[in-house]
Amino acid sequence: MKKAESIVQKVFPRFGVNKQREISRLLYEISRRENISPQEVIRTPPSGDFKKVKETLVKRRFPHASLHGELPPPFLPGLSLDPSARALPGENDYSPREVVVEQEVAHSWLSDRVRSAFPDASFSEVPSMKRHLAARTRFTLADYSKRRDLLFIVSEPHDFFKRCPCTKGAVPCGYHVFNLGFGCIYDCTYCFLQEYVNTPGIVLPANIEDYFDSFVRYRRSPRARAWHRGGRMRIGTGEFSDSLMLDHITGYSSPIIDFFKKHLDTVFEFKTKSARIENFLDAPHGGNIILSWSLNPQGVIDTDEFHTASLRERLRSAGRAAAAGYRVGFHFDPVLYFQGWERAYAEVIDAVFQAVRPRDIAWISIGTLRFSPGLKQVIENRFPENKILDGELLPGYDRKLRYPDSIRYPMYEKMIEKLRKHSREMPLYLCMEEKSIWRRVGIIPPFTS
Ligand code: SF4
């Protein structure tokens, strides 16, 4: 970036600071995308005033969007790389150095399990996590990168579950989120938690019975009855964490499976990138538990989903879950656009149907890469080698950065066509996607919202 800045200062000395910043950003992004130096990008400097120069570089940075007349003003923030924010490589195995337990749950089943799972960690008790952290007003990306070292066991006071907020302007899928934990031991380059988490560790609640009480109260409320109109409510963990990342230690799944046997009007989903399904295999369940996996080609898992299970392990687990009588789900989310994407995802789809039968599948969702503008700088700080930001990501209908329609639509179309070759009946839905795209790909929302 420094190189790009100094070239811009030399070549366009009359541009003001903000204009130089935008041109430097464009130069930097083009040089990454085309794998050449910023110097080469500007070998023959575009002529004209700032507007002309910017226009020329924007067209080169977003060639596809420009060709299809889909070029909103791009998001061109300043760039400052902080080496301390970089994601730490770490081991795939999770082993926190420090565990902080709230006094109220110091003798809970969860603290006992965590103590025996991590005998070398240092344990301390505090009256409340919130107060313990009160002196810290700001959490940095460096804290986020070290979050695997610190584990909190808490008594969650109120944030039990809620309707999924979806995204403004998208077709909702009526999902509810069971907030069982905050923070994830995995490290996906595109994860929104990097920008969202305000705790320097992983947080696990020990008072799971309070979640069940709050669910029962909610389910009886007139509001919930009106919303679900007799349809089955879909609910799941996995919005602020991975549902099964530590299930071999927490054992959260066992009471959940047991509880939802009494609530067959609800379908409960565990979403994961792990292969931690041992607690499910022999558990008697009510047929309303869905185990689901986020899927990507192995090449993407290697470069963008650190510490997670391989594609083969995820699909093998799905096959084992189906053999144990569970219905399974798959989430192609986020689908990334790169050279050869179509073939890579087609191979994953074929592998899915080698692992499970169509009738074992409860649903499949598809969602292309999108994220809030603020996450762009977080990703480049934490994962400077990432390739996902080289894509043509532009502010979309909800202001999130996403591929333009002319890239997204054919991606959905091709994925759906390939999936439908395996099964015409299986429920498919798009995640956080606007009505016009649903209409164009011809999918009817399979769930009540
Ligand atoms: S597994 Fe999910 S929650 Fe965990 S880092 Fe990846 S995207 Fe985020």
Q: What is the pLDDT of residues 103-136, one digit of tens each?
A: 999 999 999 999 999 999 999 999 999 999 987 7
Residue nearest to atom 3 of ligand 1 (CA): 241
The answer to whether residues 54 and 161 belong to one domain is: no
Per the structure, the count of domains in the chain is 2
pLDDT for res 185: 96
The verdict on residue 377 lying in a domain is yes
The verdict on residue 94 lying in a domain is no
The verdict on residue 130 lying in a domain is no
Q: Is the pLDDT of residue 167 over 80?
A: no
- Tell me the percentage of the chain whose pLDDT exceeds 70: 95
pLDDT for res 90: 78
The answer to whether residues 162 and 300 belong to one domain is: yes
Q: pLDDT tier at 168 (50, 70, 90 boundaries)?
A: low
- Tell me the percentage of the chain whose pLDDT exceeds 90: 75
pLDDT for res 48: 81
Asked if 268 and 236 touch (Cβ cutoff 8 Å), the reply is: yes
Q: pLDDT tier at 91 (50, 70, 90 boundaries)?
A: confident
pLDDT for res 165: 65
Q: Is the pLDDT of residue 390 over 90?
A: yes
Higher pLDDT, 160 or 190: 190
The answer to whether residues 51 and 167 belong to one domain is: no
The answer to whether residues 164 and 52 belong to one domain is: no
> What sign for the dihedral angle of Cα 341, 344, 349, 350?
positive
Ligand 1 atom closest to residue 241's alpha carbon, by position in its atom list: 3
In this prediction, residues 54-73 reach a mean pLDDT of 96
The answer to whether residues 291 and 411 belong to one domain is: yes
Q: Which of 184, 334, 324, 164 minimizes the C-alpha distance to 244? A: 184
pLDDT for res 25: 96
Ligand 1 geometric centre to CA of 2 (Å): 31
CA distance 312 to 310: 5
The verdict on residue 8 lying in a domain is yes
Residue nearest to atom 7 of ligand 1 (CA): 191
CA distance 25 to 20: 8
pLDDT for res 136: 73
Strand pairing class (428-430; 361-368): parallel
The answer to whether residues 54 and 162 belong to one domain is: no
**Of 23, 45, 61, which closes a domain?**
61
Say which range, 40-49, 65-74, 424-433, has the weakest mean pLDDT. Answer: 40-49
pLDDT for res 36: 96
pLDDT for res 228: 62
The answer to whether residues 275 and 380 belong to one domain is: yes
Q: Is the pLDDT of residue 270 over 80?
A: yes
The verdict on residue 145 lying in a domain is no
Residue nearest to atom 2 of ligand 1 (CA): 242
Q: Is the pLDDT of residue 385 over 70?
A: yes
Ligand 1 geometric centre to CA of 273 (Å): 8
**Of 16, 46, 61, which closes a domain?**
61
Ligand 1 geometric centre to CA of 359 (Å): 28
The verdict on residue 406 lying in a domain is yes
The answer to whether residues 194 and 329 belong to one domain is: yes
Ligand 1 geometric centre to CA of 227 (Å): 29
CA distance 298 to 313: 11
CA distance 174 to 324: 27
The answer to whether residues 391 and 255 belong to one domain is: yes
pLDDT for res 92: 83
In this prediction, residues 164-189 reach a mean pLDDT of 80
Residue numbers of the domain that contains 248: 156-441
Say which range, 131-140, 270-279, 303-312, 427-436, has the weakest mean pLDDT. Answer: 131-140
The verdict on residue 199 lying in a domain is yes
CA 240 to chain centroid: 9
Q: Is the pLDDT of residue 372 over 70?
A: yes
**Of 61, 78, 100, which closes a domain?**
61
The verdict on residue 181 lying in a domain is yes
Report the residue count for the chain.
449
The answer to whether residues 54 and 194 belong to one domain is: no
pLDDT for res 205: 96
Model confidence over 209-250: pLDDT tens digits? 999 998 898 888 887 776 666 577 889 887 899 999 999 999
CATH number at residue 388: 3.80.30.30
Q: What's the token pair of residue 56? A: 């020329």
Ligand 1 geometric centre to CA of 182 (Å): 11
Q: Which of 163, 166, 158, 37 minimizes the C-alpha distance to 433? A: 166
> Taking all residues of the chain, what is their mean pLDDT, rounded to a whole number?
92
The answer to whether residues 277 and 408 belong to one domain is: yes
Pocket residues: Cβ below 6 A from ligand 1: 184, 186-188, 191, 193, 241-242, 273
Ligand 1 atom closest to residue 305's alpha carbon, by position in its atom list: 6
Q: Is the pLDDT of residue 424 over 60?
A: yes
pLDDT for res 223: 72
Q: Is the pLDDT of residue 296 over 80?
A: yes
Asked if 403 and 392 touch (Cβ cutoff 8 Å), the reply is: yes
Q: Which of 404, 306, 379 minimizes the C-alpha distance to 29? A: 379
Strand pairing class (266-272; 289-294): parallel
pTM confidence score: 0.93
Q: State the residue for tokens 């130096």.
A: 37
